[in-house]
Amino acid sequence: MSELYIRVAEEENEEPMEIPSEDDGTVLLSSVAAQFPGACGLRYRNPETQCMRGVRLVEGVLHPPENDWGNLVYIVNYPKDNKRKMEEIDAATVVKIKRGFQKTSDLIVLGLPWKTTEQDLKDYFSTFGEVIMVQVKRDAKTGNSKGFGFVRFTDYETQTKVIAQRHMIDGRWCDCKLPNSKACPDEPMRSRKIFVGRCTEDMTTDDLRQYFMQYGEVTDVFIPKPFRAFAFVTFADDQVAQALCGEDLIIKGVSVHISNAEPKHNNIHQLFPNFPGGSASLAAMFDRSQYHFPSSHV
């Protein structure tokens, strides 16, 4: 396919800029954001209805309406539109989503037979409702099942129903519960940085940036090397970061868990970045101080 560009502008009557599409006809949100920093999506005026329409966005990829971008000018969406007026609405929306709307979360499935596969789980749980993902936890070396797994449903009602009863799976009774990892939803800490747990090795900084852009402007993505199965993502707006904490999100088909960065004790190296003798001696001192004091003082 020849190289294709779509026309994008900040406002309807402004001069558009040409943004390149991918080989499959989609446009990466990151391509848009490269020219319009902070962009989180596109919209356009539907010639038939004269209404604004949103462009489908899936994991950082923008899809052409009816498989053809046509000759329209697309308008950039930003997480928060005009200055402070919208900022307040945005905050209210964030709170509403966090409180009212009942999001589903991963459920742990305990007591699975050793032989049960992910396909078995999918088949079984699909009888309750649409399944987003299933996992069977296995020993990395042997590949043997550890006898438990995870399942995630689309609908909260399905989740409620599944938790409420026992499950006969491949000849054993199994229980589905909310996992402990989300027992204590993170509290205050107005951090703009989130901790992204359970990352897989094929997730690049670009992948994460593209994915998280849909929630707000991303200012930094950090993936430790060598691979440690987690990452940090920093947003421009702390409300965006806070709203995501406690969520399970699916990136590249994998369920990652979002929590506050630095949840336990604050990072001493960040508190005292220029400590004389370097951070190693500071860490040693910190450890000793914890050792000497009774726990009630720490």
Closest approach of DNA to the CB of residue 21, in Å: 33
106 binds DNA (CB under 7 A): yes
43 binds DNA (CB under 7 A): no
Q: What residue type is assigned to position 141 of the chain?
A: K
| Among 230, 236, 252, 269, contact with DNA (rule: CB under 7 A) | 230
Please state, in angstroms and rounded to a whole number, the distance separating the CA atoms of residues 147 and 152. 17
266 binds DNA (CB under 7 A): no
Q: What residue type is assigned to position 277 of the chain?
A: G
228 binds DNA (CB under 7 A): yes
Alpha carbon 236 to chain centroid, angstroms: 16
Closest approach of DNA to the CB of residue 14, in Å: 43
236 binds DNA (CB under 7 A): no
Q: What residue type is assigned to position 55 of the chain?
A: V
| Among 17, 108, 189, 268, contact with DNA (rule: CB under 7 A) | 108
CA–CA distance from 268 to each of 7, 262, 283 (Å)? 48, 11, 7
CA–CA distance from 284 to each of 52, 265, 289 (Å)? 59, 15, 9
110 binds DNA (CB under 7 A): yes
Minimum CB distance to DNA smaller for 27 or for 109: 109
286 binds DNA (CB under 7 A): no
113 binds DNA (CB under 7 A): yes
* # residues near DNA by CB under 7 A: 37
257 binds DNA (CB under 7 A): yes
Please state, in angstroms and rounded to a whole number, the distance separating the CA atoms of residues 256 and 239. 20
| Among the residue ranges 48-56, 101-109, 117-125, 273-281, the one whose residues contact DNA (CB under 7 A) | 101-109
CA–CA distance from 19 to each of 58, 62, 214 (Å)? 18, 12, 18
Minimum CB distance to DNA smaller for 93 or for 279: 279
CB 109 within 8 A of CB 177: no
| Among 177, 204, 206, 278, contact with DNA (rule: CB under 7 A) | 177
| Among 130, 201, 206, 220, contact with DNA (rule: CB under 7 A) | 201
**Could you say which residues in the range 130-169 bind DNA, by CB under 7 A?**
135, 137, 142, 144-148, 150
Please state, in angstroms and rounded to a whole number, the distance separating the CA atoms of residues 261 and 239. 14
Cβ neighbours for 237, distance < 8 A, ≥ 6 positions apart: 79, 80, 192, 216, 217
| Among the residue ranges 61-69, 83-91, 238-246, 253-261, the one whose residues contact DNA (CB under 7 A) | 253-261
Sign of CA dihedral 58, 60, 61, 66: positive
Please state, in angstroms and rounded to a whole number, the distance separating the CA atoms of residues 238 and 235. 7
Closest approach of DNA to the CB of residue 196, in Å: 9
Enumerate binding residues for DNA (CB under 7 A): 105-106, 108, 110-114, 135, 137, 142, 144-148, 150, 172, 177, 179-182, 195, 197-198, 200-201, 227-230, 248, 255, 257, 259, 263
